[in-house]
């Protein structure tokens, strides 16, 4: 009897395992249908699509569906890039890189490198960004599948090279990369795929030409709009196209149609949730309303621009900390390369210092002091007026200040960097207390804590130390 019972239990377990194995492919298929649906939503409204990503990720991990997991991590990266959230972008780029290496997926490993390149480029580490793009291209070259995914990944790399050239103010080189991308379109034999591919490329090219060739910008934006896919009425390219048209009309003095196009760009941006290029729209509208003496509208868009710049600066600051931490980890793994780097840096520093000293001697010291004091006075007025754009204006005048502070101590908080900025513009303890509405003793305590964090020698003046950063 006992033997019969054991046989029955064994047979039941066997049936159950067969049933569960049969159910798993069905569950994975359902998951992939949901991911496909999310992909369509992503092209219409990325904010709504993003809300679905975390539950889908949890499900993909539960089912051990590695392909779905990588696809969803990639989608998160695209979301953070579209929203200018570079701090989150670097975190999920690294997660995607780790997973793609674990599952030996060339496409997603390449895309992880592309996203990391964008993050480094935004933080002005352009050489490092190009290295990541080179890595991405090498990874794809090893793949012999000649799949559509690999084709589009290579196109993305060309687009990222173009973005880096724009970041370093080389729009002509950026245009060349997009023209290379356009030329690769001949590999697409499907008419619809070719049309959609060039729709995006012409839009990107128009966005570059607007910086130095208005006629070419207008030509390519018209070509792009002729190819607009019916199923994508509010996508990123359409936002960019209306910005370009707005700039073209603005350059021609046709402010009515210029404003109309910029407002359409804002409308589409709100529809799809993409934040890219919003600062360009606010800047242009502020400029037009200032020229046409419509003060209320000019002030409105100036405030919108300040708030947007502050949000981007906050995200950039957070991502910069992560970039520096990542750099330090890589440096610890490559001590020998670090030594060579510092030797080269030292040689470059000596050479650059010599050049700067030579140029400096040719300029009037009086003129230099006047210009610097003028900038200090402007920043001090912003602090006095409690203007939220102070840190943004400060970063424009001293673009490497935050980087240098974070290299000394990556754990510095943003409030501490802002306090260092007040010391940089030579505000006294009393002035800082007065302008920021805190006690004098609180200011002194902040100075004391900064001395410890930055390891400032007791015999060195804190102002002199900060001034040399």
Domain end call among 275, 295, 311:
311
User: Is residue 41 domain-resident?
Assistant: yes
**Residue 125 or 215, more confident:** 215
**Residue 270 or 457, more confident:** 457
Task: Answer yes or no: are the C-beta atoms of 221 and 244 closer than 8 Å.
Answer: yes
Structural domain range at position 265: 207-311
- Distance, in Å, from the CA atom of 71 to the CA atom of 326, rounded to the nearest integer, reads 24
Is residue 265 located within the same domain as residue 161? no
For 264-322, write each residue's pLDDT tens digit.
888 888 777 777 778 889 999 999 999 999 888 888 888 888 877 777 666 666 666 66
Is residue 34 located within the same domain as residue 162? yes
Instruction: Provide φ and ψ at 389, rounded to 5°.
Output: -85, 5
Among the residue ranges 18-32, 65-79, 128-142, 356-370, the one predicted with the least confidence is 356-370
For 134-188, write each residue's pLDDT tens digit.
999 999 988 877 788 889 989 989 998 998 898 888 999 999 999 999 999 998 9
Q: How confident is the model at residue 360 (pLDDT cuts 50, 70, 90)?
A: very low
Task: Answer yes or no: are the C-beta atoms of 380 and 425 closer than 8 Å.
Answer: yes
* H or E element that contains 384: helix 365-384
Is residue 151 located within the same domain as residue 266? no
With residues binned 3-state (H G I as helix, E B as strand, rest as coil), the percentages for the chain, rounded to 5, are 85, 0, 15
Which structure tokens are listed for 304?
């919108």
Is residue 31 located within the same domain as residue 156? yes
DSSP 212-269: T-HHHHHHHHHHHHHT--TT-TT-HHHHHHHHHHHHHHHHTT-HHHHHHHHHHHHHHH
Whether pLDDT at 367 is above 50: no
Percent of the chain with pLDDT over 70: 80
Q: How confident is the model at residue 31 (pLDDT cuts 50, 70, 90)?
A: very high
Is residue 278 located within the same domain as residue 403? no
**Residue 343 or 43, more confident:** 43
User: Is residue 99 domain-resident?
Assistant: yes
Is residue 127 located within the same domain as residue 225? no
User: Is residue 144 domain-resident?
Assistant: yes
Counting the structural domains of the chain, the total is 3
Is residue 34 located within the same domain as residue 160? yes
Instruction: State residue 8's pLDDT score.
Output: 52
Distances (CA, A) of 293 to 76, 241, 286, 287: 42, 27, 10, 10
Task: Answer yes or no: are the C-beta atoms of 159 and 240 closer than 8 Å.
Answer: no
Task: Answer yes or no: are the C-beta atoms of 242 and 265 closer than 8 Å.
Answer: yes
Three-class secondary structure of residue 413 per DSSP: coil
Instruction: State residue 271's pLDDT score.
Output: 75
250's CB contacts (< 8 A; 6+ apart) are 258, 284, 287, 288
User: Is residue 360 domain-resident?
Assistant: no
For 77-119, write each residue's pLDDT tens digit.
999 888 888 888 988 999 999 999 999 999 999 999 999 998 8
- Distance, in Å, from the CA atom of 244 to the CA atom of 60, rounded to the nearest integer, reads 40
Domain end call among 311, 336, 352:
311
Instruction: State residue 309's pLDDT score.
Output: 73
Task: Answer yes or no: are the C-beta atoms of 320 and 403 closer than 8 Å.
Answer: yes
Instruction: State residue 17's pLDDT score.
Output: 56
Three-class secondary structure of residue 304 per DSSP: helix
User: Which residue shows structure tokens 């012999």?
Assistant: 144
Q: How confident is the model at residue 358 (pLDDT cuts 50, 70, 90)?
A: very low
- Distance, in Å, from the CA atom of 45 to the CA atom of 274, rounded to the nearest integer, reads 8
User: Is residue 120 domain-resident?
Assistant: yes
Q: Which ranges constitute the DSSP H helices of 45-105?
A: 46-62, 66-82, 86-102
Instruction: State residue 416's pLDDT score.
Output: 87
- Distance, in Å, from the CA atom of 244 to the CA atom of 258, rounded to the nearest integer, reads 9
Instruction: State residue 334's pLDDT score.
Output: 56
Is residue 370 located within the same domain as residue 463? yes
pTM: 0.59
Q: How confident is the model at residue 21 (pLDDT cuts 50, 70, 90)?
A: low
**Number of Cβ within a 10 Å radius of residue 40:** 10
- Distance, in Å, from the CA atom of 175 to the CA atom of 171, rounded to the nearest integer, reads 6
Is residue 165 located within the same domain as residue 34? yes
Is residue 283 located within the same domain as residue 156? no
> How far from each other are the two terminal CA atoms of the chain, in whole angstroms?
86
Which structure tokens are listed for 49?
């699509």
User: Is residue 452 domain-resident?
Assistant: yes
- Distance, in Å, from the CA atom of 80 to the CA atom of 303, rounded to the nearest integer, reads 24
Instruction: State residue 436's pLDDT score.
Output: 86
Q: Read off the CATH number of the domain in which 263 is found.
A: 1.25.40.10
**Number of Cβ within a 10 Å radius of residue 129:** 26
Is residue 36 located within the same domain as residue 164? yes
Instruction: Provide φ and ψ at 157, rounded to 5°.
Output: -65, -45
Instruction: Provide φ and ψ at 204, rounded to 5°.
Output: -60, -40
For 397-426, write each residue's pLDDT tens digit.
888 888 888 888 888 887 888 899 999 998
CA 388 to chain centre: 22
**Number of Cβ within a 10 Å radius of residue 330:** 12
Instruction: State residue 407's pLDDT score.
Output: 84
Burial 241-269 (b: 16+ CB within 10 A, else e): bbbbbbbbbbeeeebeebbebbebbbebb
Mean of per-residue pLDDT scores for the chain? 82
Is residue 403 located within the same domain as residue 284? no
User: Is residue 176 domain-resident?
Assistant: no
Whether pLDDT at 341 is above 70: no
User: Is residue 191 domain-resident?
Assistant: no
Average pLDDT over residues 370-392: 75
User: Which residue shows structure tokens 């906050």?
Assistant: 314
Among the residue ranges 114-118, 201-205, 285-289, 353-357, the one predicted with the least confidence is 353-357
Instruction: State residue 340's pLDDT score.
Output: 57
**Residue 11 or 73, more confident:** 73
Domain end call among 109, 141, 169:
169
CA 101 to chain centre: 23
Three-class secondary structure of residue 46 per DSSP: helix
Instruction: State residue 278's pLDDT score.
Output: 85
Percent of the chain with pLDDT over 90: 39
Instruction: State residue 145's pLDDT score.
Output: 76
CA 415 to chain centre: 22
Q: What angle do CA 318, 391, 115 make, to 5 degrees?
A: 30
Task: Answer yes or no: are the C-beta atoms of 108 and 74 closer than 8 Å.
Answer: yes
């Amino acid at each position: 009897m006992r033997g019969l019972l054991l046989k029955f239990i064994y047979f039941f377990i066997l049936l159950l395992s067969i049933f569960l194995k049969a159910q798993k492919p069905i569950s994975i298929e359902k998951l992939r249908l949901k991911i496909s649906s999310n992909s369509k939503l992503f092209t219409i409204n990325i904010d709504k699509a993003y809300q679905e990503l975390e539950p889908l990720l949890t499900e993909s991990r539960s089912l051990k569906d590695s392909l779905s997991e990588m696809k969803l991590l990639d989608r998160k990266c695209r979301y953070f890039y579209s929203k200018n959230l570079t701090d989150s972008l670097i975190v999920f780029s690294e997660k995607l890189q780790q997973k793609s290496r674990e599952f030996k997926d060339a496409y997603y490993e390449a895309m992880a490198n592309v996203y990391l390149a964008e993050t480094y480029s935004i933080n002005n580490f352009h050489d490092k960004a190009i290295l990541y793009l080179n890595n991405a291209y090498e990874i794809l070259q090893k793949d012999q599948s000649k799949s559509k995914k690999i084709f589009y990944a290579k196109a993305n790399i060309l687009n990222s090279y173009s973005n880096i050239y724009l970041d370093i103010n080389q729009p002509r080189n950026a245009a060349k990369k997009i023209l290379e991308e356009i030329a690769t379109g001949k590999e697409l034999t499907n008419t619809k795929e070719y049309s959609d591919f060039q729709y995006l490329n012409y839009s990107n090219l128009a966005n570059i030409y607007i910086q130095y060739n208005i006629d070419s910008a207008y030509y390519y934006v018209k070509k792009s709009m002729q190819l607009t896919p019916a199923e994508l009425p509010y996508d990123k390219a359409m936002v960019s196209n209306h910005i370009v048209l707005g700039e073209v009309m603005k350059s021609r003095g046709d402010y009515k149609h210029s404003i109309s196009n910029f407002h359409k760009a804002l409308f589409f941006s709100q529809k799809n949730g993409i934040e890219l290029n919003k600062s360009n729209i606010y800047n242009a509208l502020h400029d037009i309303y200032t020229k046409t003496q419509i003060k209320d509208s000019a002030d409105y868009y100036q405030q919108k621009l300040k708030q947007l710049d502050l949000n981007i600066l906050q995200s950039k600051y957070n991502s910069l900390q992560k970039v520096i931490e990542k750099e330090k980890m890589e440096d610890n793994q490559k001590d020998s390369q670090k030594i060579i780097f510092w030797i080269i840096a030292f040689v470059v520093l000596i050479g650059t210092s010599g050049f700067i000293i030579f140029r400096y001697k040719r300029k009037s010291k009086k003129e230099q002091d006047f210009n610097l004091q003028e900038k200090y006075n402007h920043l001090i007025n912003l602090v006095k007026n409690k203007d939220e754009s102070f840190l943004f204006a400060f970063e424009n005048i001293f673009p490497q200040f935050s980087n240098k502070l974070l290299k000394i101590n990556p754990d510095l908080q943003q409030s501490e960097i802002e306090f260092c900025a007040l010391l940089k513009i030579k505000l006294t303890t009393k002035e800082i207390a007065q302008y920021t509405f805190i006690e004098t003793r609180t200011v002194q305590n902040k100075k004391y804590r900064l001395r410890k964090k930055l390891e400032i020698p007791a015999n060195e003046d804190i102002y002199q130390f900060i001034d040399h950063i």
